[in-house]
A and B are shown apart, each in its own frame.
Chain A
Amino acid sequence: MNTIEYYKERFDQLQAGDKAKGLTAFRQNAFNDFSKMGIPTNRHEEWKYTRVGSLFNKEYTSAFLQSSSIVAETALADIRLPGYSQANELVFVNGYFNASLSAIRSTDLIAITLDEAASSTEFKEIVAQNLGHSKNYLKDGINALNGAFVQSGLFVHVKKGYAVEHPVYIYNVVDAGAGNIFCQPRSLMHVAENSQLQIVETYVTIGESDSFTNQVMEVVVEKDAVVEYYKIQNDVSQSNLLSTTHFRQIGKSYIHTVTVSLNGGIVRNNLNIVMGAERSEAHLYGLYFQSGSSHIDNHTVVDNVMPNCFSNELYKGIMNDEATGVFNGKIFVRQDAQKTNAYQSNKNILLSDNASVNTKPQLEIFADDVKCSHGCTVGQLDEEAMFYLQSRGISENTAKSLLVRAFAEDILEHIKLAPIHDYIEKLISKRLKNRKA
């Protein structure tokens, strides 16, 4: 599936069968963009260290056209996250939002398909103004490809003035039980003025075959809204994921994100925060702990468009075996964005000689009265600390585990949802226990 013709055929089929028409034009524009840009090679600056060619060269029993869901509710039981009984659960199956498997527990939360939202009088303006905003930041065919095939995407709306009592858990389920699957979930969230929302998102591949997910989520945050977002990646090693999360602060608002990546095949996260309103605040935390031959790539963008914004970013990586990692952190400070405070740090520990990380901060500053800092480190566990622990009778292996756990702590402490915090902590402890000495 590496030729434009391949997609053209499927795209025409999709457009011809489209009844709702709310997104027909959007898809057409996206497909035109995709035709122009195609699949990025590693000559593309943004894809230098993450090669996706092999993913697009594979054959997939593709999910370009929606078929009926085969995932039963019982299969969900195994993949639910702790605390689910107190959460709103939204389920995607093979890239399509599945309302019947989902459960809405908060009355102040609306979750419908994107097509419905695009045709509704209440939401069509919001969709028209915000769907696809991420393409301004992701100038490659991958984002466009997702847009070209939007169908049964998810639209979430948090009503003005409501703090959603229950967090929203989003499960991206891929059923790869009957061959390789390619899927493209899409969502748009609208967090209205003076409201609050906690989002937890995770990815699960069922079955033995390969999965390849190209996901885009866009979140619009209005004045005085507060959004917490936790992305958890602990899927099987034959699952590959290109995942974009795009926040747009259109009013003075607060965003807090934690991205935790523990397993997968090739995983690329694009996290964009567009600080489009004065005095907005954003926190970006990330922890990746990879082993085997997994590949993790975190590309972040913090775009300071308006003055007086504050952003703080800390990503930490622990790489074992032959795992490879990429961190690319961009900070833009536009000409009008005076008094910007933007901080960024990326720290990595390599536990094996064969693991590697490419880390690159990228600051582009066009205003003159700003405070920005960045730093990155790649190293081993501190030998002096190892000796200190061992001199107290702690074995080398346990000492390593304690130090790795300690290293991760200042990311984990930012997971404010207790059941999720405990869950991640357990996953990490388990990983440390199973780690080869």
Chain B
Amino acid sequence: MLKIQNLHASVEGKKILNGINLEIKAGEIHAIMGPNGSGKSTLASVLAGRKEYEVTEGSVDFLGKNLLDLDPEERAGEGLFLAFQYPVEIPGLSTTNFIKTAVNEVRKYRGQEVLDAVSFLKLMKEKMALMNIDQSLLSRPLNEGFSGGEKKRNEIFQMAMLQPRLAILDETDSGLDIDAIRIVANGVNKLHTKENGVLVVTHYQRLLDYIIPDFVHVLYNGRIVKSGTKELALELEEKGYDFIKNEADIVEQV
């Protein structure tokens, strides 16, 4: 469903991605790991369409469309979802109102009928039960004063409401304790089907104990330098990123 070919991107003139190749098929879970500054979050941002990033080369095909031609809201309409590393706090905007607007705009984009108040409430109740999320959280202004765990749960709840084809989780585990990680991971797993894909971007292996990836890729200096199965994540955890760096730097020198 997602095919990234030779993707180069820079921000403020600084090259961050240097030729990424990656294919994700329906039903697969991929993990992108890598040291700080390797370009993990940049990749997530470029895929979601953040303006500050300039794609200088390469292509991204998403379900047969050129993803890079689409605005962020169109990408969401096509079925792409980015769970933010730092969800934005918006005082004055109720979480429910925000989600309702999002759901209906996406439905409009997909040519589906807009949900009336009753059907929306029904959908919300259903997903709230699934995600084990409380009504009181949703009546509050969007992410304002939410704990780290609440913010990430809210991200996954939005994902449940928007029913994306491909979910990108950008460092969803950062700043969470082990219980919160488990709750968030459970949510992701519940939503995972044979039809949709997941791209987990993470620095640590621990999230992958709960969201089991089919493939693990290591990003270094804006390029995927190693790919493997979930065992690669364990190896990284054990040896640290230095062994990858050494390997990659040697290859570069040759």
Contact partner of B105 among A387, A398, A403, A407, CB < 8 A? A398
Interface residues of B in 81-118 (CB under 8 A from A): 81-82, 84, 87-88, 90-93, 97-99, 101-102, 105-106, 109
- CB–CB B93/A405 < 8 A: yes
- Is B71 among interface residues, defined by CB-CB distance under 8 A? yes
Q: Which of B18-47 contact A (CB under 8 A)?
A: none
Instruction: Choose one: B49, B93, B97, B141; the contact of A391 (CB below 8 Å).
Output: B49
Whether A389 contacts B98 by the Cβ 8 Å rule is: yes
Residues of chain A within 8 A of B72, CB atoms compared: 387, 390-391
Which size class do A's interface residues fall under? Answer: 20 to 34
* A110 at interface by CB-CB < 8 Å: no
Residues of chain B within 8 A (CB-CB) of A387 are 48-51, 72
Do A396 and B102 contact each other (CB < 8 Å), given the known contacts A385-B90, A406-B90, A407-B92? no
Alpha-carbon gap, A388 to B73, bound state (A): 10
Task: Determine the chain B residues whose CB is within 8 A of the CB of A392 once the complex forms.
Answer: 73, 76, 98-99, 102, 106, 158, 162
Residue B93 contacts which of A383, A393, A396, A403 (CB distance < 8 angstroms)?
A403
Query: Chain B: which residue is nearest A404 at the CB level?
Result: B92
8 Å CB contact of A402 from B73, B77, B93: B93
Given the complex of chains A and B, what is the CA–CA distance between A234 and B141 in angstroms?
Answer: 28
The CA of A406 and the CA of B109, in the complex, are separated in Å by: 24
Whether the pair B102, A406 counts as a contact (CB closer than 8 A) is no
Q: Does A116 contact B (CB under 8 A)?
A: no
A391-B48 CB under 8 A given contacts A398-B101, A402-B101: yes
* A395 proximity list for chain B (CB < 8 A): 73, 105
Nearest Cβ distance between residue A311 and chain B, in whole angstroms? 22
Smallest beta-carbon distance A382→chain B, Å: 8
List the A residue with the shortest CB-CB distance to B48. Answer: A391
A321 at the interface (CB under 8 A from B): no
Contact A388 B49 (CB under 8 A): no
A402 to B101, CA, bound (A): 9
Assess the A393–B90 pair: CB atoms within 8 A.
no
Q: Which of A380-422 touch B at CB < 8 Å?
A: 382-385, 387-396, 398-399, 402-403, 405-410
**In the complex, what residues of B have CB within 8 A of residue A383's CB?**
51
Bound: A384/B52 CA distance, A:
10
Q: B73 is contacted by which of A393, A407, A410 (Cβ under 8 Å)? A: A393
Instruction: Report the bound CA distance from A391 to B99 in whole Å.
Output: 12
Residue of A nearest to B79 (CB): A393
Residue of A nearest to B164 (CB): A393
Chain A residues in 8 Å Cβ range of B97: 402
Contact B88 A405 (CB under 8 A): no
- A257 and B79 CA atoms in complex are apart in Å by 47
CB atoms of A410 and B91 under 8 A apart:
yes
- CB closest chain-B residue, reference A387: B50
- Partner of A390 from B73, B90, B92, B162 at Cβ < 8 Å: B73
CB-based contact A394/B73 at 8 Å: yes
Is B82 a contact partner of A408 (Cβ separation < 8 A)? Answer: no
**Inter-chain contacts of A396 with B (CB < 8 A):** 71, 73
Chain A residue at smallest Cβ distance from B103: A393
Chain B proximity of A265: nearest CB distance (Å): 29
In the complex formed, the residue of B with least CB distance to A409 is B92
Q: Which residues of A contact B109 (CB under 8 A)?
A: 393
Chain B contacts with A in 114-149, Cβ cutoff 8 A: 141
Alpha-carbon distance between A177 and B51 when the two chains are bound, in angstroms:
51
* Cβ-neighbour of B88 out of A384, A394, A402 (below 8 A): A384
Contacts of B102 in A (CB 8 A): 389, 392-394
> Does the CB pair A409–B91 fall under 8 Å?
yes
How does the 8 Å CB contact mask read for A201-214 relative to B, with 1 for contact and 0 for none? 00000000000000
Q: Tell me how far the C-beta of A285 lies from the nearest C-beta in chain B, rounded to whole angstroms.
A: 14
Extra pairs beyond A392-B73, A392-B162, A405-B92 (15, CB < 8 Å):
A382-B88, A383-B51, A385-B88, A387-B72, A389-B102, A390-B76, A391-B73, A392-B106, A393-B73, A393-B106, A399-B73, A402-B98, A405-B93, A409-B92, A409-B93
5 A–B pairs (Cβ distance < 8 Å), ordered by A = A387-B49, A389-B102, A402-B97, A406-B90, A410-B91
User: What 7 A-B pairs are tightest by C-beta distance, nearest first?
Assistant: A409-B92, A406-B92, A393-B76, A393-B106, A406-B93, A392-B102, A390-B72
